[in-house]
Structure 1
Amino acid sequence: MAPLAQQLILVTGATSGIGKVTAQTLAKQGAHVILLARSAEKAERTQHEIRAAAGHDRVDILLCDLSDLTQVRKAAAEFNQRYPRLDVLVNNAGLLFGKERQLSAQGYEMTLATNYLGPFLLTALLLDKLRQSPAARIINVASMAYRFAKPDLTNLNQERGYGAMRQYGNTKLYNILFTQELSRRLRTKGISNVVTNSLHPGVVASNFGDNAKGWLAKLTKLFRPFMISPEQGAQTTLYLVTDEAAGHISGGFFAKQKAVAVKHPFTTPTDAQQLWEQTEALVEQNFLD
């Protein structure tokens, strides 16, 4: 594993919560960090704060709303033009939306688009840069909320029976299955210098539920005092980025810096492959086929 001072690390959702803590901690350890964010104003403010804390200027901005697949393609093209490689991709961005079903620019349900489709497409488009690294890592922030998932491959877009918490759980399960299937395909292709793992950060007192309304918003605010801090929530992500042993594991799901079993009936190899194929069709991008 190369020293952090020699690594290029892209963190999505990097202007708040565990994403910001992750980016700042890695920058303070010398890494060249790229902040992927929706808001230029928040990104510039975060960039200034992290540069001041890290004591160096190697903190860059890449603007992108992950729910908009056109913006994802544009951001990936910009990254591929600006940088020679990518050592670590942290797919951290994730949101909980409200009880009313919302649609992305491409007409996909917003939770699906933001939490799953965008990160899937971004990873696909940056894979060549990851392969240029001697030892690359792809880290997908999922959640134990996968236990609430009731996935239906005929209804990925939740056109029938939409429920905010159920769809949030679905997307977190999809993140885990994406990680497992990506790991399998990397091995099948003989790509040994790229590993991928997913994780549960804990129930973090962040702003991820700010887009929710009604009882969901009230519930997240009610339980916020009992949640862990973003600093605590970032620890497993940081472990997967920096730990030497973690660089030799692929396809795992981690909580509290330890590998844990995923217990859900929708986690078979067949499910993962079918989900992958449907996702390729939705984002119109072949990925390791």
Structure 2
Amino acid sequence: MTGTVCLVTGATSGIGHETALGLARAGARVGIVGRDRARTDRSAQAIRADVPGAVVDAFVADLSSQAQVRHLAAEVRSAYDRLDVLVNNAGAIFDSHAVTEDGIERTWALDHLAYMLLTLELLDLLKASAPARIVSVASMAHKRGRIGTDSATGYSAIKAYSQAKLGNVLFTAALARRLAGSGVTANSLHPGVVATGFAGGTGGWFGLAWKVIRPFLIAPSDGAATSLHLATSPDVEGVSGLYFARCRPVPVSAAARDEALQERVWASSLRQIGEPGSLP
């Protein structure tokens, strides 16, 4: 990866930090994105301490805000003249319904729309750097996801999260079709059930259950393995539109395979992020 530039969102802890660390160890210049300046700077410093000579750039943005995603993309375009790998990793689960400043349910906004908006904002840079890779961290939770379950009435953290993860897989498939022949690939993945702080926004029964099972989950370094495989391995060069677990392509749900649903979610997501309808 020497000479390459990679960007990892949600890189202040957990899978994202381990992914950024692995890319730095492989020789890449790494941009890390976090929501909090102090935590993001600490993560960057920790990577530099582990990998002497590593070039690590810290970017700060709340990715649930579309304005901040666009500002982040502008900063990245200003900082880099190439982008070889984009890892969409940031995400969370919330135990109560809330909407963002853009009027969108926050799980969908952070866990799905931010992936799409940041990717589209950086797509020209990725295409100019081809061959390039887009890696989106989804989840096996997509298999229980249903589109249209974000109502404040009867809100469920698990349903909202599963819907967003289904959104990731649908987006990846639709994006891969549009990128055919461009030299840019797009794949999604299930990292495993990892002992991270992603459920920090929850309380109640789910938050309690997470605390109970967390000691039995896999380590973040293991959870990052598939992200790193998709970002770096020559085995997946040119492979696009697939969903991986344990570094292997695996089947997705019937809903995720539905091309008509992929296109409907692509179109509706474009409207939600305010992109012109003429976008491919």
Match of residue 143, structure 1, among 139, 143, 159 = 139
Aligned partner letter, 1:125: E
Specify the code of the residue in structure 1 equivalent to 2:110. Answer: T
For 1:201-212, what aligned pairs fall within 5 Å after superposition?
Answer: 201-212=191-202
Q: 1:115 aligns with which of 108, 111, 115?
A: 111
| Corresponding residue number in structure 1 for 2:121 | 125
TM-score of the pair, normalised by structure 1: 0.93
Q: Match of 1:163?
A: 156
Q: Distance in 1 between matches of 2:186 and 2:106?
A: 25
Q: Is the 8 A contact 1:30 1:54 kept in 2?
A: no
**CA positional deviation for 1:120:** 0.6
The CA distance in 1 between the partners of 2:76 and 2:218, in whole Å, is: 33
- 1:148 is displaced (CA, Å) by 2.1
2:81 pairs with one of 78, 84, 99: 84
1:100-111 paired onto structure 2 within 5 Å: 100-111=96-107
- Corresponding position of 1:36: 33
The sequence identity of aligned pairs, in percent, is 41
Select which of 273, 281, 285 maps to 2:275. 285
- CA distance in 1 between partners of 2:128 and 2:255 (Å): 36
Q: State the partner residue of 1:52.
A: 49
> Using the alignment, how far apart are the partners of 2:105 and 2:262 within structure 1?
20
Q: Which amino acid aligns with 1:239?
A: H
| Aligned equivalent of 1:177 | 170
> Quick check: 1:137–1:196 contact (8 Å CA) kept in 2?
yes
Task: Read off the aligned partner of 1:210 and give its amino acid letter.
Answer: G
Q: Distance in 1 between matches of 2:43 and 2:111?
A: 22
Letter in 1 for 2:165: K
How many angstroms apart in 1 are the aligned matches of 2:152 and 2:202?
19
How many angstroms does 1:149 deviate by? 1.0
Q: Which residue of 2 aligns with 1:25?
A: 22
Q: C-alpha separation between the residues in 1 aligned to 2:184 and 2:269?
A: 21
SS of 2:97's equivalent? coil
Deviation at 1:217, TM superposition (A): 0.5
TM-superposed CA distance for 1:160, in Å, is: 4.4
Distance 1:104 1:178 in 2: 21
- Which residue is 2:216 aligned to? 226
Counterpart amino acid of residue 227 in structure 1: L
User: Partner of 1:239 in structure 2?
Assistant: 229
Task: Give the Cα–Cα distance (whole angstroms) in 2 for the partners of residues 77 and 158 of structure 1.
Answer: 33
1:42 and 1:55 mapped to 2: Cα distance? Answer: 20
In the alignment, the residues of structure 1 paired with residue 258 and residue 116 of structure 2 have an alpha-carbon distance, to the nearest angstrom, of 19
Q: Work out whether residues 5 and 30 of structure 1, in 8 Å CA contact, stay in contact via their aligned partners in 2.
A: yes
Unaligned runs of 5+ residues in structure 2 are none
- 1:14 is matched with which residue: 11, 23, 32? 11
Query: For the aligned residues, what is the CA RMSD?
Result: 1.3
Please give the per-residue CA displacement for 1:136-178, whole angstroms capped at 9, x wherever unaligned: 00000000011221222xx6x4344321101100110110010
The residue number in structure 2 matching 1:194 is 184
Return the letter of the residue paired with 2:213: F
Question: Residue 209 of structure 1: SS of its match in structure 2?
Answer: helix
Secondary structure class of the residue paired with 1:6: coil
Q: Aligned to 2:92, which of 91, 95, 105?
A: 95
Amino acid in structure 2 at the alignment position of 1:231: S
Cα distance in 2 for residues equivalent to 1:259 and 1:97: 29
* Paired letter, 2:111: N
Number of residue pairs matched by the alignment: 279
Check whether the contact 2:243–2:250 (CA below 8 A) recurs between aligned residues: yes
Shift of 1:264: 3.0
Q: Aligned-pair distance for 1:73?
A: 0.6
Q: TM-score under structure 2 normalisation? A: 0.96
* Contact 2:27–2:54 (Cα < 8 Å) also in 1: no
Give the secondary-structure state (helix, strand or coil) at the position aligned to 1:248.
coil
2:169·2:256 contact (CA, 8 Å) conserved in 1? no
